[in-house]
Amino acid sequence: MILDILKFPDPVLRTPARPVEAITGETAELVQNMLETMYAAPGIGLAAPQVGVSQRIIVLDLDHENPGDNVIKLVNPMIYEAEGEVVFEEGCLSVVDFTAEVQRAERVAVSGYDDNGDEVDIEADGLLAVALQHEIDHLDGKLFIDRISRLKRDLYVRKLKKSIRTGREMPENRGVVI
């Protein structure tokens, strides 16, 4: 089932998600719905708060040529190691019509559980490292626009408020969004 993706400035996106206490069939169903929603959007990552669920769950699939073959499903993910620096152009399914260069760790090590309750440990660099950090930020109530200059963020917010005030929708993101 395809879920609705919340858009900034929805306050749910600013609320830290609760840890998942027990991984159940309901958890696995949510993960599957999140994947369907992410593919339909289309995006390469999605966090549960983006679909209005306050749980620490993310899904990722960076392989557009083989959707579903390299899926990452993480429950209660945690970055336990980060090093280096990289600047990457990011977009977000919850932040429409805006991309910006964001500085993140170049390499990360992340642990969590899959939707079966099995422990998962991932060491990542490049786009995967960026995507993991981006989605885990969602679980902490942060958006990529919180990691850019205040000036750029304020310009985006003003543009968004104008589109809301005038009743004109902002165009959807184009290209790959995390």
Q: Which residues does the annotation mark as catalytic?
A: 135
Spatial distance between the Cα atoms of 8 and 178, rounded to a whole number of angstroms: 15
Question: And the tokens for 49?
Answer: 């708060």
Spatial distance between the Cα atoms of 77 and 148, rounded to a whole number of angstroms: 24
Coil/strand/helix, residue 151: helix
Reference 126, options 60, 75, 74, 59; nearest CA is 60
Spatial distance between the Cα atoms of 72 and 102, rounded to a whole number of angstroms: 22
